[in-house]
Structure 1
Amino acid sequence: MMETIARSDAPTLRRSDAPRGGSMADHATQPHPDDQPVPVVDCALYKHGKRRAGTLPLTEAMDTARTSPDSFVWIGLREPTTDQLEVVADAFGLHPLAVEDAVHAHQRPKLERYDDSLFLVLKTVVYVEHDHLTPTSEVVSTGEIMIFAGRDFAVVVRHGDSPDLRVVRRQLETQPELLAHGPAAAVHAIADTVVDQYLDVVRAIETDVEQVEAGVFSPERTDDSGRIYQLKREVLELRRAVVPLAMPLRELAEARAPGVDPEIGAYLRDVSDHLAQASERITGFAELLDGVLSANLAQLTVRQNTDLRRISAWAAIIAVPTMIVGVYGMNFDHMPELRWTFGYPLVLAVIVIACTLMYRAFRRNDWL
């Protein structure tokens, strides 16, 4: 069920609340035909890094952030529609292209700059618990977090599986010295949480990779191709979420984006380092799974060759008595052995000895 309101007192913004050429207070009381609620998870006003006490209406929080120095508003939304997000977009002048991306989701990790604001897309990843990896197991589930950050606002839009940002907000509120840096501090806190989640998922997938590897090299005759290929697909999905984020984080860490000061850049460099660790391990998983898949296919080929050799060895052993019995089944009148007293047991002895010698030879050469 969609998380529309996180708390019973969470604010709800309507299209008629958005400022359109005047103050928010003026427009808050004017009706509008498209009046509809916006799914606000949380809304908070921060001044000098400290949250304003009590619960502010969203319109008042936005208006205060614009008129009060060293203040910014942090708005959290959960899967809003186009009309719902446009309420906030009109208030802060968000770019229409970024708004469209935030509504429809399914974006690659990226950082875009629109005048004096930023639009950052983060892919979130959640590990899907499973008792045993199968050729159809879902290993990772992805979602998205879009962040609009300007001088006096941070608008966060969530889609799909993602971490609980209310926890992130509460943790950051215990560090007012960081929040005093404005919306960039919120960007860092969210990016840090997402990247830490990457590392958690990487550690969980490492166990799956080890299990598949052990299965391939176990003495039991199993075909793990389906499991390996499925795990490769899940690792590829994880890689698509993690690796493209490197460039956006590097730009933020180097303070090349507006609103990001060098001190927050230092924290973002640490996040970038953690992301590099996750990327390296994911790349290692991909290479290891390639090797495991090749080893599995090679083992199947070896097993097929072994089976073929065994069939050929038994066919050769059977050919000896078949040949001897076939010769004596011709019933010629002038066969030197035909009237020998011990001819019959001698033939049987020759068959047994020949087959035994061939069997031992094949065993010694690992054909049987």
Structure 2
Amino acid sequence: MSERRPPRSRAVLSFLGDSRSRAAAATTAAPPSGRDVDRALTDCAVYEGGERQGGQVPLEEALQRARGCSDGFVWIGLHDPEPQAVELVGQFFGLHPLAVEDAIHAHQRPKLERHEDLLFLVLKTARYVDAEELVDIGELLLFLGDRFLVTIRHGEARPLAELRRRLEDDHDRLARGPGAVFHAIIDAVVDDYADVLDGLTNDVDEIEAAVFSDVRSNPTERIYRLKREVLQFKRAVTPFVHPLTRLVEDEELPVPDRARPYLRDVLDHLVRDAEGVTSIDELLNGVLDANLAQMSVRQNDDMRKISAWVAIAALPTMVFGLYGMNFEHMPELKWDLGYPAVLVLTALACLLLHRRLRRAGWL
């Protein structure tokens, strides 16, 4: 079900204007302030020549310092920010109001938008909680400019602190600018998809083994729960193929040429993951059908066994019921061996019937 787009706030509408006025505002606007930004800010750093310049830089100094460097850029990270924090950061960096609106409301489909010299990318993060057989889906929004990268993360999946530390140890990669960080983040998210696929595949294998094992069990509920997680993961992975394909193939997008081969490699992995989650979804459908068929076969076997034992029990019931009618003229009533003879003959008949039903596969 598609979500209805909420009405734009006055603060967002107030950002409308041409790109030059917004770019000028990025250098002259009053610095963002307030507890909302400080609470959501995970890190803010300026990089020049592949090295971090000092520690965490105050937001009001970040862009000015980056513009003062010959090849520097600023990377700002926000986690679950309040709308006011997103609006302030958007105003400070001259972000497009439509992109700011999407970042405020979140819960967007994976997509790529270009606002003049700014790229706005929405992608879903994922991690697999094996103990609960749960796919934890988050959201990551990336704003890529010439001298800055803003990352807004919603949810707990894919923290970027460890990735930032690894990149800071790779000075050559950071020296390539914010585009290299942009690629590294996408690559890390797609790598997480592969880990989720591995976890889902293991659980599907366990369910298959349970369905076709001799131990009687009913994993239908587990299959439905896992299928729901697979569908949720599929909605995160499959729509991301198109935006990433645009990043690779659209030469008009402001993506560094030397970054395209690396993005193409990430695209190959993403396509493989999309095919993998589709295969798992189809496999779960097959497992569910097999489980239902298996349950039907077992029920039929149970009914045949019950019917076979009823038939065996019917024979002595008929014989003993006949003798219970107290007839006076029955040949064997006055025969000394009549009683044991009837018992033996009845038992032999039951044994013969049991053997016949067993050969027929009913027992």
Q: Does 1:95 align with 2:99?
A: no
Q: SS of the residue aligned with 1:349?
A: helix
Unaligned runs of 5+ in 1: 1-18, 131-136
List per-residue Cα deviations over 1:122-150 (Å, max 9, x = no partner). Answer: 111112131xxxxxx44221111110112
List per-residue Cα deviations over 1:229-265 (Å, max 9, x = no partner). Answer: 1111112222121111111111112244622022111
Identify the residue that residue 156 of structure 1 maps to in structure 2.
151
Identify the residue that residue 354 of structure 1 maps to in structure 2.
349
Q: SS of the residue aligned with 2:81?
A: coil
Q: SS of the residue aligned with 1:282?
A: helix
Q: Does 1:113 align with 2:108?
A: no
Range 68-77 or range 185-194, more displaced: 68-77
The 8 Å contact of residues 148 and 156 in structure 1, kept in 2 or not, is answered as yes
1:317–1:56: structure 2 CA closer, same or farther, 3 Å change rule? closer
Identify the residue that residue 196 of structure 2 maps to in structure 1.
201
Alignment of 1:9-48 (within 5 A): 24=27, 27-28=30-31, 35-38=34-37, 39-48=40-49
Range 60-69 or range 317-326, more displaced: 60-69
Which residue among 213, 238, 262 is the counterpart of 1:218?
Answer: 213
Q: TM-score, normalised by structure 1?
A: 0.83
The 8 Å contact of residues 49 and 177 in structure 1, kept in 2 or not, is answered as yes
Once residues 24 and 118 of structure 1 are traced to their aligned partners in structure 2, the CA distance between those partners, rounded to angstroms, is 19
Q: SS of the residue aligned with 1:155?
A: strand
Amino acid at match of 2:300: N
Unaligned runs of 5+ in 2: 1-21
Q: SS of the residue aligned with 1:299?
A: helix
Q: TM-score, normalised by structure 2?
A: 0.85
The 8 Å contact of residues 45 and 52 in structure 2, kept in 1 or not, is answered as yes
Q: SS of the residue aligned with 1:221?
A: coil
Once residues 237 and 108 of structure 2 are traced to their aligned partners in structure 1, the CA distance between those partners, rounded to angstroms, is 13
Identify the residue that residue 363 of structure 1 maps to in structure 2.
358
Which residue among 307, 327, 330 is the counterpart of 2:325?
Answer: 330
Shift of 1:175: 3.9
Q: SS of the residue aligned with 2:361?
A: coil
List per-residue Cα deviations over 1:47-80 (Å, max 9, x = no partner). Answer: 4544334553322221243465543221111111
Once residues 360 and 129 of structure 1 are traced to their aligned partners in structure 2, the CA distance between those partners, rounded to angstroms, is 49
List per-residue Cα deviations over 1:89-140 (Å, max 9, x = no partner). Answer: 112222223222212322221112222211111111112131xxxxxx4422
Once residues 288 and 352 of structure 1 are traced to their aligned partners in structure 2, the CA distance between those partners, rounded to angstroms, is 51
Amino acid at match of 2:201: E
Aligned-pair RMSD on alpha carbons?
2.6
Range 296-305 or range 174-183, more displaced: 174-183
Once residues 23 and 115 of structure 1 are traced to their aligned partners in structure 2, the CA distance between those partners, rounded to angstroms, is 15
- Greater per-residue helix proportion: 2
Aligned length: 340
Q: Does 1:71 align with 2:66?
A: no
Identify the residue that residue 18 of structure 2 maps to in structure 1.
none
The 8 Å contact of residues 254 and 262 in structure 1, kept in 2 or not, is answered as no
Which residue among 160, 165, 169 is the counterpart of 2:164?
Answer: 169
Shift of 1:225: 0.9
1:302–1:159: structure 2 CA closer, same or farther, 3 Å change rule? same
Once residues 336 and 190 of structure 2 are traced to their aligned partners in structure 1, the CA distance between those partners, rounded to angstroms, is 90
Shift of 1:355: 0.7
Shift of 1:156: 0.4
Shift of 1:192: 0.5
Q: Does 1:310 align with 2:311?
A: no
Once residues 26 and 345 of structure 1 are traced to their aligned partners in structure 2, the CA distance between those partners, rounded to angstroms, is 111
The 8 Å contact of residues 181 and 264 in structure 1, kept in 2 or not, is answered as no
Shift of 1:85: 1.2
Identify the residue that residue 4 of structure 1 maps to in structure 2.
none
Alignment of 1:131-150 (within 5 A): 137-150=132-145
Amino acid at match of 2:225: Q
Q: SS of the residue aligned with 1:148?
A: strand
Identify the residue that residue 274 of structure 2 maps to in structure 1.
279
List per-residue Cα deviations over 1:324-356 (Å, max 9, x = no partner). Answer: 223333344554555555443332232111111
Shift of 1:206: 2.0
Q: Does 1:265 align with 2:260?
A: yes
Once residues 142 and 253 of structure 1 are traced to their aligned partners in structure 2, the CA distance between those partners, rounded to angstroms, is 25
Once residues 243 and 124 of structure 2 are traced to their aligned partners in structure 1, the CA distance between those partners, rounded to angstroms, is 12
Which residue among 206, 227, 230 is the counterpart of 2:225?
Answer: 230
Q: SS of the residue aligned with 1:86?
A: helix
Q: Does 1:319 align with 2:314?
A: yes
Once residues 306 and 138 of structure 1 are traced to their aligned partners in structure 2, the CA distance between those partners, rounded to angstroms, is 33
Shift of 1:270: 0.8
